Chain A
Amino acid sequence: AQSVTQLGSHVSVSEGALVLLRCNYSSSVPPYLFWYVQYPNQGLQLLLKYTTGATLVKGINGFEAEFKKSETSFHLTKPSAHMSDAAEYFCAVSPRRGGGSYIPTFGRGTSLIVHP
């Protein structure tokens, strides 16, 4: 079974400060990993994904994440927060099942608060 733990239900930063949202996963084999963002009353939007290859993944809106197998982590970062980054962020993991259902398991989410 796979699971995702997002450390911190809320993260508060000042505009222009570094954003760090933590995600640790549990899986018997290295899975596919994702970060999604959700704005109020909207669905989820994919920020970035890791499937294979380079462990540092760049996504949209200046976000990036690094897959660290030894730490079973996939933390999301952004060098400089913007007010528009305030949203709920979800880390997700899905198994590497060839031809399988590719159903992701989501973490509980981290609410990013950006102060002016």
Chain B
Amino acid sequence: GDSVTQMEGPVTLSEEAFLTINCTYTATGYPSLFWYVQYPGEGLQLLLKATKADDKGSNKGFEATYRKETTSFHLEKGSVQVSDSAVYFCALSDASGTYKYIFGTGTRLKVLA
């Protein structure tokens, strides 16, 4: 079945460092891809999305490109802030008919001042 694999955390960075969180997927068809963020004590929030190959999703300085050839959707940010500390989830929307969301295990990011 469809699945999402994320790099394990935690990832600890200094403020203004470059961030990459790797995400790869296995899916039949052409799923939509998402990054969700979960701040402490809060629910999941959509960070960005891409619906077809070569699309780039971006929001709040984060970006990710839908790479069909490598089945990847890596999250990047050029300069992280302390306020970016959270858990980041990569997800796909199953394209086989039900469009259910399948999530990775999450990557915890801690940014130090």
The answer to whether A binds B is no
